[in-house]
């Protein structure tokens, strides 16, 4: 897609990756993309589904379900929905939304089934079958569980069902939590192979300043790329009922953009917002996806969603071979092993100066790698008594990070 942009005075030019403020323009490309998207992820935030004070807004919920049903006529729709905790708080008679994880887990346990029943009651009479999908970060971290979830959702879509995804708050603990449903929605884009992410929120889109505090703030209709200056315009949640803010929405848009998928941030309180958005009307803020080099879904998953269990520190020659020549990592190029991991688990590969260069699946466990640090491939059987692979990390199981530029020259790795 074109990255030609117009400045506020109308002079056109090329978008610079180092620009200091977001560049905006209304254009046909946005409308075409919105109309063409056949599989979409719609994230509905807590602020959209609740009234002031946190009470669940059933009137707005019913209206949104009407819009989802209309969207599902010609498109495949996947919903990432908040609201379970709010319904649990209501049912338990709590004065406010719990702030501790245990309290949120209890409220979610009570509210999740109520949320799904509301969706079923609202969408069932319109001919839409709903399906519950609960995920934790561990489900994304495990390639097997990730693929199982992808296949299950694909089967649901083949049967014209509407999957409703939420984090499995009842069993999640702090280190496994996605943190907010914006992050989950960004992950879901790749999981379901969507063509568009629509985030329904309680404000009109990205503004030049916080519109609740600055009356001169103006909405930015389109942005190209999420850089620090753009993130600086966003803030944390101020509604008191959600866990995210505009910053988390922009990060979700950035994640979707890594998969070549654009994002539309929409005023979810506005009746008919989804109808207008999918028709390509100038509503909300449209975040264009940057051109993609063709990274496969497996490597995107490795790059973004896996948490490395250890680190391999490599010498300058190995760094050059990996980053400039696309080689595998051999034991001869490794200088240090950090952490504990088993064969087949994800590791981060770092340069001597501390830069994270790549992520990949280790062919050997941490203890095995420590025994073969710096040795040539031919010596592996003599040291270990066996050889699982020539490579410590094969290039097919490795993806470079953005920080991998300009490694220093030197010997150390070969294919």
Q: At what angle do helices 58-74 and 101-123 cross, to 10 degrees?
A: 60
Taking alpha carbons only, the member of 133, 153, 145, 148 closest to residue 39 is 153
Neighbouring CB atoms inside 10 A of 270's CB total 16
**pLDDT tens for residues 208-218?**
887 778 888 89
- Residue 415 pLDDT: 34
| Six-digit token string for 338 | 């950090």
**pLDDT tens for residues 339-382?**
999 887 889 999 998 888 988 889 999 999 999 999 999 999 99
- Residue 191 pLDDT: 87
| Six-digit token string for 70 | 């209309």
- Residue 413 pLDDT: 36
The angle formed by the CA atoms of residues 225, 185 and 45, to the nearest 5 degrees, is 105
- Residue 270 pLDDT: 93
Taking alpha carbons only, the member of 251, 213, 216 closest to residue 230 is 251
- Residue 343 pLDDT: 86
- Residue 48 pLDDT: 93
- Residue 178 pLDDT: 66
Residue 274 CB contacts under 8 Å (≥ 6 apart), including other chains:
42, 64, 67, 68, 70, 71, 198, 200, 266
Helices (H), 22-142: 28-36, 46-49, 58-74, 84-92, 101-123, 137-141
Residue 281 CB contacts under 8 Å (≥ 6 apart), including other chains:
none
- Residue 109 pLDDT: 92
Taking alpha carbons only, the member of 337, 336, 333 closest to residue 317 is 333
- Residue 306 pLDDT: 67
How would you write the pLDDT of the chain (415 residues) with one tens digit per residue? 332 222 322 332 333 333 333 443 444 588 888 988 999 999 999 889 998 778 899 999 999 999 999 999 999 999 999 999 899 999 999 988 888 888 888 999 999 999 999 999 999 999 999 999 999 877 877 777 887 888 899 999 999 999 999 988 777 665 446 657 888 898 899 889 899 999 999 888 888 887 778 888 899 999 887 777 787 777 544 444 434 478 889 988 988 887 788 999 999 999 999 999 999 998 999 999 876 554 555 566 665 666 788 999 999 999 999 999 989 999 999 999 999 998 878 899 999 988 889 888 899 999 999 999 999 999 999 999 999 889 999 887 888 876 555 544 433 333 3
The angle formed by the CA atoms of residues 298, 301 and 307, to the nearest 5 degrees, is 130
- Residue 96 pLDDT: 86
Taking alpha carbons only, the member of 67, 76, 74 closest to residue 41 is 76
Taking alpha carbons only, the member of 62, 60, 122, 80 closest to residue 269 is 60
- Residue 412 pLDDT: 34
Phi, psi of 71 (to 5 degrees): -65, -35
* Contact yes or no for 23/15 (Cβ under 8 A): yes
* Contact yes or no for 368/335 (Cβ under 8 A): no
């Amino acid at each position: 897609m074109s990255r030609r942009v117009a400045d506020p005075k109308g002079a056109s030019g090329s978008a610079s990756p180092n620009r200091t403020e977001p560049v905006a323009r209304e254009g046909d490309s946005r409308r075409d993309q919105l109309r063409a998207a056949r599989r979409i992820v719609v994230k509905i935030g807590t602020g959209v589904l609740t009234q002031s004070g946190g009470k669940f807004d059933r009137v707005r919920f019913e209206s949104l379900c009407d819009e989802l049903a209309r969207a599902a006529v010609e498109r495949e729709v996947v919903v990432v929905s908040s609201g379970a905790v709010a319904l649990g708080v209501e049912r338990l008679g709590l004065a406010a939304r719990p702030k501790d994880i245990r309290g949120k887990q209890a409220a979610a346990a009570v509210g999740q089934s109520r949320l799904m029943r509301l969706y079923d009651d609202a969408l069932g009479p319109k001919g839409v079958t709903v399906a519950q999908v609960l995920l934790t970060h561990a489900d994304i971290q495990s390639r097997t569980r990730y693929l199982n979830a992808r296949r299950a959702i694909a089967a649901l879509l083949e049967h014209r069902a509407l999957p409703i995804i939420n984090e499995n708050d009842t069993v999640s603990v702090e280190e496994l939590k996605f943190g907010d449903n914006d992050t989950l929605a960004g992950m879901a884009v790749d999981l379901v192979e969507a063509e568009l992410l629509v985030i329904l929120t309680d404000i009109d889109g990205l503004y030049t300043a916080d519109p609740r505090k600055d009356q001169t703030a103006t909405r930015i209709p389109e942005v190209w790329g999420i850089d620090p200056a753009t993130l600086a315009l966003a803030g944390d949640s101020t509604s008191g009922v959600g866990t995210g803010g505009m910053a988390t929405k922009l990060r979700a848009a950035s994640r979707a953009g890594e998969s070549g998928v654009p994002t539309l941030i929409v005023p979810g309180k506005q009746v008919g917002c989804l109808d207008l958005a999918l028709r390509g009307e100038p509503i909300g803020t449209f975040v264009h996806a940057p051109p993609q080099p063709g990274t496969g879904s497996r490597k995107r998953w490795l790059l973004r969603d896996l948490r490395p269990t250890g680190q391999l520190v490599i010498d300058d020659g190995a760094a050059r071979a990996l980053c400039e020549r696309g080689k595998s990592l051999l034991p001869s190029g490794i200088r240090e092993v950090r952490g504990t991991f088993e064969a087949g688990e994800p590791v981060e590969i770092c340069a001597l100066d501390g830069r994270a260069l790549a992520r990949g699946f280790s062919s050997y466990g941490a203890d095995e790698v420590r025994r073969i640090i710096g040795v040539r491939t031919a010596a592996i059987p003599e040291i270990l008594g066996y050889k699982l692979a020539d490579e410590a990390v094969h290039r097919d199981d490795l993806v470079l990070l953005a920080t991998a530029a300009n490694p220093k020259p030197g010997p150390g790795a070969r294919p």
